[in-house]
Amino acid sequence: MMDEYYDDENGDSIYANDLTSELLNVQELLKNNSLDELLKIDRDNIREKEKEKQWYHGRIARDVAEDILKKGLVKHGNMDGLFLVRESSFSSSSFVLSLYSKGIFFHFQINEVKSAHFSIDQGPTVHGLDRLIQNYQEQAQGLPTHLTLFCKCKPPPDEQRYSGVTNLLHRAVLENIPEVVKQILASKYCPSVNAKSEWGMTALHDACYYGFEDVADLLIRNGANVNCFDKDGQTPLHRCCTGNKAGIISILIQEGNANVNERNPKSGWIPIHQAAYKGYLDCIKILLDYHSPYLPRADDDTTPLDLAENYEHADCVKEIEQFEQPKVITHKYDWFHPEIDRQGGQKLLELKGLREGLFLVRSSKKNPDWHVLTLCHDQKVFNYEIKTKNYRDRHMYFIDDGPFYKCLEHLIQYYSYHANGLPCALSVSVNTTRELVQISKDDEYFNLVDTAHRFPTNVSPALPPRPEDLDMTYSESDNPPVSNAAHHHAPLPPSPTPPTSSPPPPPNHPPPISKQHSITKKPEVELRQIDRKLLSLGKEIGQGEFGSVVKGHYKKKPTGRGKTEKIDVAIKLFHKTAINNQEDFLKEARTMQQLEHDCIVNFIGIAESDNHELMLVEEYIAMGSMLDYLIDHRENIKKTDLYLWAAQIAYGMMYLEQQKMVHRDLAARNILLQSKERAKISDFGLSRAVGSNSDYYKATTGGRWPIKWYAPECVNYGHFSHASDVWSFGVTLWEMFSYGEPPYGDMKGIEVIKFIEEGKRLAKPENCPEIAYTQMKKCWNNEPRDRPTFKALNTHFQSEDEYVSTRDFMKTIRK
Ligand code: AMP
């Protein structure tokens, strides 16, 4: 085959394939061509090679994606499997596969399971969007069809890829010619500094592996990402440790704020694990100088000491074993309060103003060997168990999957440098005489704390929030704020000699790993969007967690031929000020979209207002909140009404259980009345899917929890299940039969917890029939398995003679 010529702008020409065959090194190519000429040829060469990956369209809306696909279908004759990939319009770095098959447009959410590892639905988790799409081009694997042609735009972003095309920058870096690297970086034709080579490395990864210090320095100064992962899940710091290039470690940390705690998403190894595995003593020493933990734990609990020993690196074993922790600057009496309990810890921190990073340590009630770190972040209090474990005959302290430390002081000192999984680093403590003490750090390393903030690791908080982490229900008085004398729903909460052509993948794979990260993240459905122009907004009807709720109209387009229908809707507005909560708002919308039941408020869609605020549109429920109705219309409510609503709520909850969903906020304020004959469950802001192999959802993040409606296992362990929803149902029944009284009166959340722990329960409301109160008490059984199911509750409220009136009404419910 004839080589193709490339004509440059001046009419001079060179063999394009001289550049691409990589027989010539960059310096030789530069003898006959200007750098800009070479870069332009390189750019065209990359475009040519990336032609098959130009399926990425950036951030476009769903309807725009469908329009593009429709045009593609006209061009390609209704080609089944025509597709494109786009960024989700609702959450950045989340992607959607838009696909045409057999007359239908499908939109599949692409989930980022862990850094740059993606999956669709229950399909396999694959490193890189590029490899994910390639897999689905080969096989349908559960999609309606395998992917065939695509609508052309551009290749996927660098950081979400497994590999790319080796460019001139990669080659100049591999040839270690800083002058040329500098010129390339200054050229307007410079490729992306974070582009990946065909070996899945960025230029910085290569510079680090080969130890090209000047080049690494230049790359960092020109925006190279110091914490990005290569195809083996290694950061540039890991690469230094694979290539034994201790000198660059300082450059990465000092110039680039590289994070010594960054975990390899495939194994949980941090850089010092890599150095210990390879037996590179200098790297270990310098990492320790930069406050790397010396006994961090990988996903399978392996420490660098275990690796050094297994791979027989005696000098490294000695170094780690004999490593002397720098003298601690912090002392136990600065923060340890052995006498204080949970509540006391909370109170003391509140008294000291809940400032960011304020903390104390107390004893654990669960285990006499354990402690609890009580820490303020974002004006809330979080508690983390400091557990102990016997490791090599030593008593070690640790938090969650964090490093081992021989003593508490060292652990505290470590977390004052690195947040590493905690919401923030420790900065100020309360000492035994209740004064504030600034945790001293030597200034040289102060930046490291910043690093932890800027590049957070994927470690989750150690524990679910304990009740004292949370705002105990709503207001100071622990009751929802009052309006119209009613309790409204309140806001909750890589050869030592560098090759001249592309190098083979470096021998750096860690040994097989025993434990993988969980990949059971539930796929997210794409949200149904509606056109803003079809909506009109009316008066405010309530205040929700994210903003106001207004009544409105929606011009619903008919599915067939008929006329446009104007329907009443309730529109939940998402205020810009609540921007941090956007994901929660969208979560609520996604949950609602999956539900369809006569006893559950129907989701219509999501729209964007003219000033880009989000709106959640749902069916309008005319009589509003059941709680308000109970309070305002007590005299019009018959027992039979209450029985019917109870049966309907249990029926809706039965459906929710079939959908493997827990509500987590079942309360009278969250039941809406469409009519006196129809109650509907609403407010799915706290709702979560339970795993396919478990029957509970484990909460790992804080928020505002309605403690008074929660079962003990929710409060104590963050375990939410259908049985804990049943407990809340019991409290809801109590609210109904007491016509909207606040449960537990003026008691504070913490008092309620104690009250329940003592075996006490809410008293029978006045005039409440014994048969109904008996059901409530069953719902409040300490043992989740001994509580009735929603099915049993639904049956109960229809089958007993007392409830004869509900049966006919229940028959009218379709599902
Ligand atoms: P929420 O954000 O769901 O707690 O809603 C706050 C308040 O807005 C509720 O207490 C109701 O009064 C009102 N509201 C919410 N959704 C609807 C709806 N679909 N129809 C009528 N009123 C609603």
Domain 532-619 has CATH 3.30.70.1560: no
Q: What is the mean pLDDT of the chain?
A: 82
pLDDT at residue 508 tops 50: no
Q: Which of 462-466, 533-537, 633-637 has the lowest mean pLDDT?
A: 462-466
CA 43/CA 53 separation, integer angstroms: 15
As a whole-number percent, the residues of the chain with pLDDT over 70 amount to 81
What pLDDT does residue 467 have? Answer: 34
Nearest-angstrom CA–CA distance, 178 and 168 = 13
* pLDDT of amino acid 612: 65
Distance 683 CA to ligand 1 centre (A): 8
Mutate to test the pocket of ligand 1, among 631, 672, 673, 680 (most ligand atoms within 8 A of CB): 672
Task: Give DSSP secondary structure letters for 69-83.
Answer: HHHHHHHHTS-TT-E
Above 90 in pLDDT, residue 653?
yes
Q: Tell me the C-alpha distance between 695 and 721, whole Å.
A: 6
Q: Is the C-beta atom of 682 inside 6 A of ligand 1? A: yes
CA distance 128 to 136: 13
The CA distance from 479 to 657, in Å, is: 28
- What is the atom index within ligand 1 of the atom nearest the CA of 669? 10
pLDDT at 463: 33
Given a contact cutoff of 8 angstroms between Cβ atoms, the answer to whether 645 and 672 are in contact is no
Centre of ligand 1 to C-alpha 794, Å, is: 25
Q: Report the pLDDT averaged over residues 352-376.
A: 92
Q: For position 93, what pLDDT does the model report?
A: 63
CATH class for the region spanning 332-453: alpha beta
- Which atom in ligand 1 lies closest to the alpha carbon of residue 620? 20
pLDDT, residue 470, reads 33
| CATH annotation of 626-814 | 1.10.510.10
- What pLDDT does residue 441 have? 59
Residue 586: is its pLDDT beyond 90? no
Q: Is 683 in the pocket of ligand 1 (CB under 6 A)?
A: yes
Instruction: Identify which of 158, 269, 280 has the alpha carbon closest to the alpha carbon of residue 509.
Output: 269
Residues, the chain, total? 815
Task: Supply the pLDDT for residue 444.
Answer: 32
Check: CB of residue 201 under 8 Å from CB of residue 269. Answer: no
Query: Nearest C-alpha to atom 6 of ligand 1 is from which residue?
Result: 544
Cross-strand pairs, 698: 719
* Atom nearest to 572 CA in ligand 1: 2
Give me 638's structure tokens.
Answer: 């018959």
Please tell me which residue in 665, 683, 746, 808 is annotated as part of the active site: 665
Within this chain, domains 332-453 and 532-619 share the same CATH topology: no
450 or 39, higher pLDDT: 39
Phi, psi of 548 (to 5 degrees): -85, 160
Closest ligand 1 atom to the C-alpha of 549? 8
**Interatomic CA distance for residues 82 and 460, integer angstroms:** 38
Q: Is the pLDDT of residue 655 over 60?
A: yes
How many C-beta atoms surround the C-beta of residue 11 within 10 A?
A: 6
Does ligand 1 have an atom closer than 6 angstroms to the CB of 38? no
The ligand 1 atom at the shortest distance from the C-alpha of residue 546 is 2
Residue 466 has pLDDT above 50, yes or no: no
Whether 641 is in the pocket of ligand 1, judged by its Cβ within 6 Å, is no
| Ligand 1 center–CA 625 separation, angstroms | 7
The residue contributing the CA closest to ligand 1 atom 13 is 542
Q: Give every CB contact of residue 754 below 8 A, 6+ residues apart in sequence.
A: none
Q: Where are the domains of the chain?
A: 1-50+164-259, 52-157, 332-453, 532-619, 626-814
Interval between CA 741 and ligand 1 midpoint (Å): 20
- pLDDT, tens digit, 9 for 90 and up, residues 368-392: 889 999 999 988 899 999 999 999 9
**What's the gap between Cα 604 and its chain centre?**
26
Q: What is the pLDDT of residues 148-179, one digit of tens each?
A: 999 999 999 998 999 999 999 999 999 999 99
- Label residue 7 by pLDDT band (50, 70, 90): very low
Cα(412) to ligand 1 centroid in Å equals 46
Mean pLDDT computed over 636-654: 94
Write the DSSP string, 504-523: PPPS-PPPP-S-PPP--PPP
Nearest ligand 1 atom, CA 601: 19
687 in contact with ligand 1, CB cutoff 6 A: no
Q: Is the pLDDT of residue 494 over 60?
A: no
User: Is the CB of 665 within 6 Å of ligand 1?
Assistant: no
672 CB near ligand 1 (under 6 Å) = yes
Topology, domain 1-50+164-259: 1.25.40
C-beta of 542 in contact with ligand 1 (< 6 A) = yes
In CATH terms, the superfamily for domain 52-157 is SH2 domain (3.30.505.10)
User: Rounded to the nearest whole angstrom, what is the distance from the C-alpha of residue 542 to the centroid of ligand 1?
Assistant: 6
Burial class (CB in 10 A: 0-12, 13-18, 19+), 344: middle
Contact 475, 490 (CB under 8 A): yes
Structure confidence by residue, pLDDT tens digits, 186-202: 999 999 999 999 999 99
Q: Is 635 helix (H, G, I), strand (E, B) or coil?
A: helix
Q: Using DSSP, state whether 377 is helix, strand or coil.
A: strand
259 lines ligand 1 (CB under 6 A): no
Q: How confident is the model at residue 815 (pLDDT cuts 50, 70, 90)?
A: low
Average pLDDT over residues 654-667: 92
Give the residue, out of 595, 620, 682, with the most ligand 1 atoms within 8 A of its beta carbon, to mutate for a pocket test: 682
Work out the average pLDDT over 538-565: 81
Q: Which residues pair with 614 in a beta bridge?
A: 574, 608
pLDDT of residue 275: 97
Which comes out higher in pLDDT, residue 510 or 132?
132
Q: Is the CB of 203 under 6 A from ligand 1?
A: no
Confidence of residue 262 (pLDDT cuts 50, 70, 90): very high
Which pair of tokens denotes residue 214?
A: 């000047």
pLDDT of residue 325: 77
| Cβ of residue 487 lying under 6 Å from some atom of ligand 1 | no
- The pLDDT score that the predictor gives to residue 762 is 97
Question: Who wins on pLDDT, 303 or 747?
Answer: 303
pLDDT confidence band for 492 (50 / 70 / 90): very low
Binned at pLDDT 50, 70 and 90, residue 489 comes out as: very low
Spatial CB neighbours of 341, under 8 Å, sequence gap ≥ 6: 362, 365
- Regarding the beta carbon of 270 and ligand 1, being less than 6 Å apart is answered no
Atom of ligand 1 nearest to the CA of 627: 10
**CB distance 712 to ligand 1 below 6 Å:** no
- pLDDT confidence tier of residue 457, bands split at 50, 70 and 90: very low
| pLDDT of residue 16 exceeding 70 | no
From the CA of 623, how far away is ligand 1's center (Å)?
Answer: 10
Question: From atom 7 of ligand 1, which residue's Cα is the shortest distance away?
Answer: 542
How many whole angstroms from 628 Cα to the centroid of ligand 1? 11
Best mutation site among 492, 537, 548, 549 for ligand 1 pocket (most ligand atoms within 8 Å of CB): 549
Distance of CA 749 from the midpoint of ligand 1 (Å): 25
What is the DSSP code string of 264-301? PTTT---HHHHHHHHT-HHHHHHHHHTT--SS---TT-
Which amino acid residue places its CA nearest to atom 16 of ligand 1?
570
Q: Mean pLDDT over residues 777-798, rounded?
A: 93
pTM reported for the whole predicted model: 0.53
Q: Tell me the per-residue pLDDT of 691-731, one tens digit each, with 9 for 90 and over.
A: 544 555 655 444 457 889 999 988 877 788 999 999 999 99
Among protein residues, the one whose CA lies closest to atom 17 of ligand 1: 570
Clarify whether 665 is annotated catalytic: yes
